[in-house]
Amino acid sequence: MNQNAHSFLSADTVDEASRTFKALADPTRIKILYLLSQEECSVNHITEVLEMTQSAVSHQLSFLRNLRLVKYRREGNTFYYTYDDEHVITILNQVLTHIECK
């Protein structure tokens, strides 16, 4: 095989793809991203809907924020979160559709 006949991904691209898939590999983060794909939510709302502790939600939101998958806005003392990457939401929805169509 001729190695020049293939295109290769840069190390940075591979690392970023790996981090994105890692984010989607956690059940809690899937739940949070799916909820945020439907509506902007405060941390309290996420904790109530997903029946999780505030600490657990905050930890996962921090992880997702660091990957630039979610963003927030502040209104007084309340932070409202939404997704920040339509591509990741599309991938998530495609995976869920794939599973539900089996």
| Entry pTM | 0.88
pLDDT at 6: 78
Residue 72 lies in a domain: yes
In a domain, 55, yes or no: yes
- Model pLDDT for residues 13-69, shown as the tens digit of each residue: 999 999 999 999 999 999 999 999 999 999 999 999 999 999 999 999 999 999 999
- What pLDDT does 52 receive? 97
Residue 47 CA to residue 65 CA, distance in Å, equals 17
Give the domain extent around 86.
Answer: 24-100
For residue 74, tell me if it sits in a domain. Answer: yes
Residue 64 forms part of a structural domain: yes
Distance (Å, whole) CA 91 – CA 37: 12
CA distance 88 to 96: 12
* CATH number, position 78: 1.10.10.10
Contact between residue 79 and residue 42 where contact means Cβ atoms under 8 Å apart? yes
Angle made by CA atoms 25, 66, 36, in degrees to the nearest 5: 65
Predicted pLDDT at 76: 95
pLDDT in tens, 55-87: 999 999 999 999 999 999 999 999 999 999 999
Q: 46 lies in a domain?
A: yes
Q: How many domains does the chain have?
A: 1
CA angle in degrees (0–180, nearest 5) for 42-54-41: 15
Is the pLDDT confidence value at 1 over 80?
no
Largest CA distance in the chain: 61
